[in-house]
Structure formats: C-alpha cells, structure tokens
C-alpha cells in the first residue's frame, strides 16, 4: 500500500536514477519527480520491460 501511495502503480514508467554504493537507497524517477526508496521496498516492486516490437 505504501508503495502505491508514492505513485508506483501498475503501468507507469520508472527510471532508476542512482543506486547508493551499498544498494540502499535507490533513487527512481516516477511521474516526473524523484523518489528515494529502500532496498527492501524496491524488492516488492515487479518490473516488466516494455514490448517495443
């Protein structure tokens, strides 16, 4: 629920901007803003590559 409240919902584009040296936090660009999340939160996100064919 918390992830969805931050704007991470099905079908949106997400860009990984930076990953800290030890992997925590991870900075994402979502819906035009930058979001930093913990590694444990990122593990709950399912990502698919877009079909560009």
Res. 20: pLDDT tops 80: yes
What's the fold here for domain 2-42? SH3 type barrels. (2.30.30)
**Percent of the chain with pLDDT strictly greater than 70:** 100
pTM above 0.85, yes or no: no
In whole angstroms, give the CA distance from residue 53 to residue 45: 24
Mean pLDDT computed over every residue of the chain: 87
Distances (CA, A) of 35 to 7, 20, 53: 9, 13, 30
Q: Per-residue confidence at 2, pLDDT binned at 50, 70, 90? A: confident
Positive or negative, the CA dihedral 23, 29, 31, 34 is: positive
Give the pLDDT score at 18. Answer: 94
In whole angstroms, give the CA distance from residue 52 to residue 21: 31
**What residue segments make up the domains of the chain, in order of their start?**
2-42
């Amino acid at each position: 629920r918390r992830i969805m409240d931050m704007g991470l919902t099905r079908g949106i584009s997400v860009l990984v901007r930076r990953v800290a040296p030890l992997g925590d936090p991870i900075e994402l660009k979502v819906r035009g803003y930058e979001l930093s999340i913990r590694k444990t939160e990122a593990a709950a996100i399912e990502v698919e590559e877009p079909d560009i064919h």
